[in-house]
Homo-oligomer: A and B are copies of this chain.
Amino acid sequence: MALIVQKFGGSSVSDAAAMKRVAGRIARTQRDGNDVVVVVSAMGDTTDELLDLAEEVNPNAPAREMDILLTAGERISMSLLAMAIEAEGIPARSYTGQQAGVLTDSKYGKASIVGVVPDRIRRTLEEGQVAIVAGFQGVNAEANDVTTLGRGGSDTTAVALAASLGADVCEIYTDVDGVYSADPRVVSKARRIPRLSTEETLELASHGAKILHLRAVEFARRYNVPLHVRSSFSELEGTWVVNPTEEDPMEEPIIAGVAHDRSQGKVTVVGVEDVPGSAALLFTTLAEAEANIDTIVQNVSTEATGKTDISFTLPNKDVPAAAAALENLRESLGFEEVQHNGNIGIVSLVGAGMRSNTGVSATLFKALADAGINIQMISTSEIRISVVVDAQEVDAAVRVIHSAFGLDSQDTEAVVYGGTGR
């Protein structure tokens, strides 16, 4: 007997029929002798419909009221799901974030969970009932007002509940059967990854792979909650996301997968004088312009000029404001010009095995060169290599990298680096 937290997203409960199928699955899990806590998102397009209504009555709606509005969606889905489970003969009770003890700060629209006090959920389980909890929402202690965790926050609710209840696993149900080595719409030979470390998952998720809410993975890593990403349409095993331990160091392929992100643009400040404080002034200005900077690259200055170029990526929508803010600095900072380009994509190769394997970046750069794809920027972390390429070349770049690292599904043997000298 295990304690299982199951999270179902909006596409898994899009209508009454889907709701009933999900209810059947939950009922089976409980009949198999498990304690089950379910976290559910709003049905299908509910949230978008509510956003449209809000836009109609007030394009600058106050965040507090917006949170009250949006949480209605989970209220509908959670109570319907409880009813559907009862129809399966299993007692079920639904709870709002507040009732489930999900406490947050007061940042309406993007609140952080500050604690979970799941007393009521525990009692529900003790009484042999399934507990259904509204995802994406909590309550701020000071005002007793409902808050939302931002979109995708239901994953975070599920992991936080799993952590606070000491659940054996947090199952994240989606409309695909796990995490893939690349977006299957881009790479037809992408394959399901059976097991990922939390840090690989973080790198993939933060570089464009739409698999899990970043904060949920952070939570899972910090509190050691095993995640199981799987399909609500099949009984197949999906992808397990776990923290490697000393006893179980994850003898897995070196490369986990390839992520890509088309939502970013690139800005380069050309000819910045390489004196202390330049970068600080630059990025303070950008922060004031509310530009959400992702990757920053600065090359060493050439000795001849004492000047350098600073490039960074940021969400495309923030590019014009960022470029305008920087223009105002041109005189004081004495740089030459600001170039910006929204027509780019970032392709990232992620794998914990990079740490101990040489030659990974060489293989990546050679694959791109062979395909005639120009690299505009490079940045790396310990377990990731990202390249900025032209937007039109993103798909091709993902495919050749995927192939070069033996990730294509026909090739079931892992490719070995380092030793091969590639």
Interface residues of chain A, those whose CB is within 8 Å of chain B, are 16, 19-20, 23, 50, 53-54, 56-58, 60-62, 64-66, 68-69, 71-73, 75-76, 78-84, 86-87, 92-94, 96, 99, 144-145
Chain A interface, >50% SS class:
helix
The complex places the Cα of A68 from the Cα of B94 at a distance, in Å, of 8
18 pairs, A vs B, C-beta closer than 8 Å: A20-B57, A23-B57, A57-B87, A58-B83, A60-B87, A61-B86, A61-B87, A62-B82, A65-B79, A65-B86, A65-B92, A65-B93, A66-B79, A66-B83, A68-B96, A69-B75, A72-B73, A72-B79
The complex places the Cα of A60 from the Cα of B144 at a distance, in Å, of 33
Determine the residue in chain B with the shortest Cβ distance to A88.
Answer: B58
The complex places the Cα of A369 from the Cα of B413 at a distance, in Å, of 98
A100: min CB distance to chain B, Å: 11
A199: min CB distance to chain B, Å: 39
A146: min CB distance to chain B, Å: 8
Determine the residue in chain B with the shortest Cβ distance to A57.
Answer: B84
The complex places the Cα of A83 from the Cα of B78 at a distance, in Å, of 25
B69, B76, B87: which contacts A58 (Cβ < 8 A)?
B87
B53, B72, B83, B145: which contacts A65 (Cβ < 8 A)?
B83
Contacts of A96 in B (CB 8 A): 68
Determine the residue in chain B with the shortest Cβ distance to A80.
Answer: B57
Contacts of A87 in B (CB 8 A): 57-58, 60-61
B16, B53, B72: which contacts A75 (Cβ < 8 A)?
B72
Contacts of A69 in B (CB 8 A): 75-76, 79-80, 83
User: In the complex, are the beta carbons of B71 and A53 less than 8 A apart?
Assistant: no
User: In the complex, are the beta carbons of A80 and B54 less than 8 A apart?
Assistant: yes
User: In the complex, are the beta carbons of A54 and B83 less than 8 A apart?
Assistant: yes
Contacts of A82 in B (CB 8 A): 62, 65, 68
Given contacts A20-B57, A65-B92, A72-B72, 8 further A-B contacts (CB under 8 A): A16-B56, A19-B57, A62-B83, A65-B93, A66-B79, A68-B94, A68-B96, A69-B79
Contacts of A53 in B (CB 8 A): 16, 76, 80
The complex places the Cα of A339 from the Cα of B192 at a distance, in Å, of 72
Determine the residue in chain B with the shortest Cβ distance to A144.
Answer: B99
The complex places the Cα of A60 from the Cα of B72 at a distance, in Å, of 23
The complex places the Cα of A377 from the Cα of B20 at a distance, in Å, of 50
User: In the complex, are the beta carbons of B72 and A76 less than 8 A apart?
Assistant: yes
The complex places the Cα of A322 from the Cα of B346 at a distance, in Å, of 74
Determine the residue in chain B with the shortest Cβ distance to A81.
Answer: B57
